[in-house]
Structure 1
């Protein structure tokens, strides 16, 4: 499965504990990453300063579902079950 361009659920729903340019302490769950542009595209995609956790993310149907809304729901649910 390929990411749906403009979805951004994986950059909003989960917490990210590693530093992100502009967010040195990472980000809490549900907070929009500062590196998302107005079209929900990552400004640092493919760059070396992108967090490893972001680079390692693979879109799969069980995480991303069939729509952007379903992806947000699924990732939020996973975060609430596994987050701190």
Structure 2
């Protein structure tokens, strides 16, 4: 599955415990990453400053669903189940 450009669910729903430029302590679940632009695209995509956890994320139907709204719901549910 290819990532749906402009979705942004993976940059909003999960917690990220590693440093992100502008967010040195990472980000809590449900908080929008500071590096997510107005079009829901990562400003760090392809740059070495992008956290490994973000670089390693792969869009799959079971995590991202069929819509952006479903992706937020699924990733939020996964976050709650693994916290």
Q: TM-score, normalised by structure 1?
A: 0.98
The unaligned stretches of length 5 or more in structure 2 are none
Aligned-residue offset at 1:82: 0.2
Aligned-residue offset at 1:45: 0.3
For 1:21, what is the secondary structure of its paired residue? coil
Aligned-residue offset at 1:57: 0.2
- Report the equivalent of 2:65: 65
1:4-35 deviations in whole A, cap 9, x for unaligned?
00000000000000000000000000000000
Distance 1:69 1:20 in 2: 24
The unaligned stretches of length 5 or more in structure 1 are none
Aligned-residue offset at 1:77: 0.1
For 2:73, what is the secondary structure of its paired residue? helix
Q: Root-mean-square deviation (CA), in Å?
A: 0.3
1:49-75 deviations in whole A, cap 9, x for unaligned?
100000000000000000000000000
